[in-house]
Amino acid sequence: MTKQLYFFLALLLFTSSTIAVAKPLNIVTSIKPVHSLVTGITQGVTKPKLLMSSNQSPHHYSLRPSERRMLAKADLIFWIGPGMESMMPRLLDSLKNKNRAVSLIQTPGLNLMPIRQLDDGHGEHSHDHGHTKLDAHFWLNTHNADILIDAISQQLIQLDPEHKQQYQSNSQRLHGQVAELRNNLQQSLSAVKKTFLTYHDGYQYFENEFNLQNAGFIASSEFQPGARRISELKKIIQEKNIECIFYDAPNMPPILKSLLAENKAKALMLDPVGTSIPPGKKLWFELMNSLARQFINCQQNI
């Protein structure tokens, strides 16, 4: 009897230690908006890690050794695509687990828009259909967010079917929150009619969904404004009665001081990746509301 009891206790200890060893998925996400959506879907199951935690631009991010190790240890990696995190393809190619990396720009069903090009002759928008590059800021559209939630959830269920019900339940809750946000933004932004300029062209998904009037953008990665372009922009500001020029967080480009010097336009900050927002499941929603507030501030001349 004593031997049987000893055997039973030993088996119990072994079983409990085996259960304790079973680890939750080690998920790494590239930028804050992706981390936010994944955090919402995995709530109660696991906590994804944020790769790019500093305020560096995702386009030119330089990974620390600890961040490289984070990628190497990941069971699943969610990132946008090479048009956003330009260093990721090279890094992922060097990893043994590169097949576990999901480029979200390849998600079927997304509404993807081509990058708008600067026509340096006139400074107007044009589409380069010869070799169309896609605008990677697609998370700034609520319908795209819904598609991303389902795609991320499917990837998680495929790798971790044990928690299927929890992933699906979290996704349903998120869809409800996205629908509520969409309705609120449609109502609050319906009064925004003023035309504006942006420093970079990173907002067309948001502008398109909520019918905002962008008169153009100032600079791109391929084109930095010279004296002629600045003169043209000043003319646009006068002719179209531009009152707001939006720039990307966190710092205002020096050129804006020159553009604002001789007119009533003012500079307002937009934060498309949540630079100033603490990471977490609420970030994507706060980011979208923050963008809306700034466009409303422009309309109300605040």
Residue 230, judged by CB atoms within 10 A of its CB (0-12, 13-18, 19+), counts as: middle
With respect to residue 258, please indicate whether it lies within any of the assigned structural domains: yes
Looking at residues 29-50, what average pLDDT do you find?
Answer: 98
pLDDT band at 301 (very low <50, low <70, confident <90, very high): confident
**Up-side HSE of residue 265: CA atoms within 13 Å toward CB?**
30
Domain count across the chain: 1
Given the structure tokens 């997304």, which residue do they identify?
110
With respect to residue 41, please indicate whether it lies within any of the assigned structural domains: no
With respect to residue 206, please indicate whether it lies within any of the assigned structural domains: yes
Task: Give yes or no for residue 13 having a pLDDT over 90.
Answer: no
Q: Which residue has the higher pLDDT, 279 or 23?
A: 279
Structure confidence by residue, pLDDT tens digits, 194-237: 999 999 999 999 999 999 999 999 987 767 788 888 888 999 99
Task: Give yes or no for residue 181 having a pLDDT over 80.
Answer: yes
- Residues 137 and 115 sit within 8 Å (Cβ to Cβ): no
With respect to residue 219, please indicate whether it lies within any of the assigned structural domains: yes
With respect to residue 83, please indicate whether it lies within any of the assigned structural domains: no
pTM score over 0.85? yes
pLDDT band at 261 (very low <50, low <70, confident <90, very high): confident
Task: Please state, in angstroms and rounded to a whole number, the distance separating the CA atoms of residues 17 and 275.
Answer: 41
Find the CATH number of the domain harbouring 196. 3.40.50.1980
Task: Give yes or no for residue 124 having a pLDDT over 50.
Answer: no
Top-ranked range on mean pLDDT: pick from 94-98, 115-119, 229-233: 229-233
Task: Give yes or no for residue 1 having a pLDDT over 60.
Answer: no
pLDDT band at 125 (very low <50, low <70, confident <90, very high): very low
- Residues 279 and 50 sit within 8 Å (Cβ to Cβ): yes
pLDDT at residue 98 in the model = 74
pLDDT at residue 58 in the model = 79
252: containing domain = 187-299
Which of 57-61, 123-127, 144-148, 163-167 is least confident? Answer: 123-127
With respect to residue 202, please indicate whether it lies within any of the assigned structural domains: yes
Q: Which two tokens stand for residue 47?
A: 């906590």
With respect to residue 43, please indicate whether it lies within any of the assigned structural domains: no
With respect to residue 78, please indicate whether it lies within any of the assigned structural domains: no
